């Protein structure tokens, strides 16, 4: 959702093992367990009476947003002490003056409108960013008990994980890969709430065989697992809405770029962490066929 009224950024000296460039499977599992706890908190809040408040940009926020964020921030403080964290809902903190080379982006509840409408298309998004690029991403869909995650250059997977369970408690764990663009036409996934004329114009230029509307970062998961081919959004959103999905899609073999085919960069503090527009592709070669030169994707080292 667009709007950056509140941010949380802890600054400090990173210890060598806290550098995002050194992320590994253990760190991915620990982050997954933190996200799973937040998923359980959202479902518990959903089961009660959710009081809704409008933020300055008129987007809704609830106790579920705040409960999930508190758990994630507490977990990150233990796991990555000194790491800068930029999170959507954290209260009472001024925008950071600058962003270090490595930081974490958090959207504790992406799709609050979907949750309030009684739909299950809401997610938790956590991304680790280094050098302006997402290196690790986790997307959890609490109501579905599904989690997509990946490390760029090392692959992506989908977990069946009950909210609140540790990563080791996954019922299913499947490697996922985005698919080549089918000759029969593309499956497009689009925002249920933000399908503006620019996106519709782009879709009209593509060989779309099927178009599906849904909320939140679920669409990135569908691209990553090969059940959809393209996800365009040509209206502004925020980095925490995109970064986790960006990492998962690229880890699964896809690409996330500007509409012109250029790389997306993150940590744009003086632009209020806004992403003007993007297109996620399951098949990176589609970038050159439909949008211009395909950008090089930097592997995680």
CATH number, residue 135: 3.30.540.10
- Torsion of Cα atoms, 168 then 169 then 171 then 177, to 10°: -30
* Residue 2 pLDDT greater than 60, yes or no: no
In this prediction, what percent of the chain has a pLDDT beyond 90? 72
Residue 30 lies in a domain: yes
Q: Which domain holds residue 65?
A: 16-176
In tens, the pLDDT along 179-224 reads 999 989 999 999 988 888 999 999 999 999 999 999 999 999 999 9
User: Is 155 found in the same domain as 22?
Assistant: yes
User: Is 152 found in the same domain as 202?
Assistant: no
At which residue do the structure tokens 């997306």 appear?
264
Residue 10 lies in a domain: no
User: Is 167 found in the same domain as 56?
Assistant: yes
User: Is 190 found in the same domain as 168?
Assistant: no
Domains of the chain: total: 2
User: Is 169 found in the same domain as 80?
Assistant: yes
User: What's the whole-model pTM score?
Assistant: 0.88
User: Is 143 found in the same domain as 73?
Assistant: yes
Closest residue by Cα to residue 110 from 238, 234, 211, 231: 238
- Kindly give, in sequence order, each residue whose CB lies less than 8 Å from that of residue 162, ignoring residues fewer than 6 positions away: 36, 145, 169, 171
User: Is 243 found in the same domain as 128?
Assistant: no
User: Is 73 found in the same domain as 145?
Assistant: yes
Residue 300 lies in a domain: no
User: Is 217 found in the same domain as 168?
Assistant: no
Helices then strands, counting H and E runs in the chain, come out as 7, 16
């Amino acid at each position: 959702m667009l709007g950056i009224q509140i941010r949380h950024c802890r600054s400090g000296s990173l210890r060598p093992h806290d550098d995002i460039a050194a992320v590994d499977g253990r760190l991915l599992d620990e982050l997954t367990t933190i996200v799973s706890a937040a998923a359980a908190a959202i479902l518990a809040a959903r089961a009660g009476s959710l009081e809704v408040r409008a933020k300055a940009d008129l987007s809704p926020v609830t106790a579920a947003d705040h409960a999930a964020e508190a758990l994630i921030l507490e977990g990150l403080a233990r796991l990555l002490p000194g790491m800068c964290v930029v999170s959507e809902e954290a209260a009472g903190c001024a925008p950071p003056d600058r962003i270090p080379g490595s930081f974490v982006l958090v959207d504790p509840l992406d799709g609050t409108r979907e949750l309030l409408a009684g739909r299950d298309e809401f997610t938790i998004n956590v991304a680790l960013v280094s050098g302006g690029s997402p290196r690790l991403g986790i997307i959890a869909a609490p109501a579905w008990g599904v989690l997509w995650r990946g490390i760029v250059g090392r692959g992506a997977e989908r977990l069946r994980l009950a909210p609140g369970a540790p990563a080791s408690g996954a019922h299913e764990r499947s490697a996922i890969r985005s698919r080549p663009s089918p000759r029969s036409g593309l499956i497009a996934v689009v925002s249920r709430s933000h399908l503006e004329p620019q996106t519709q114009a782009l879709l009209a230029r593509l060989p779309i065989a099927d178009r599906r509307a849904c909320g939140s970062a679920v669409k990135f998961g569908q691209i990553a697992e090969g059940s959809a081919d393209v996800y365009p959004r040509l209206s502004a959103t925020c980095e925490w809405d995109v970064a986790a999905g960006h990492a998962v899609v690229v880890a699964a073999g896809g690409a996330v770029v500007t509409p012109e085919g250029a790389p997306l960069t993150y940590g744009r503090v003086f632009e209020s962490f806004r992403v003007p527009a993007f297109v996620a592709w399951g098949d990176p070669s589609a970038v050159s066929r439909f949008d211009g030169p395909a950008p090089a994707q930097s592997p995680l080292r």
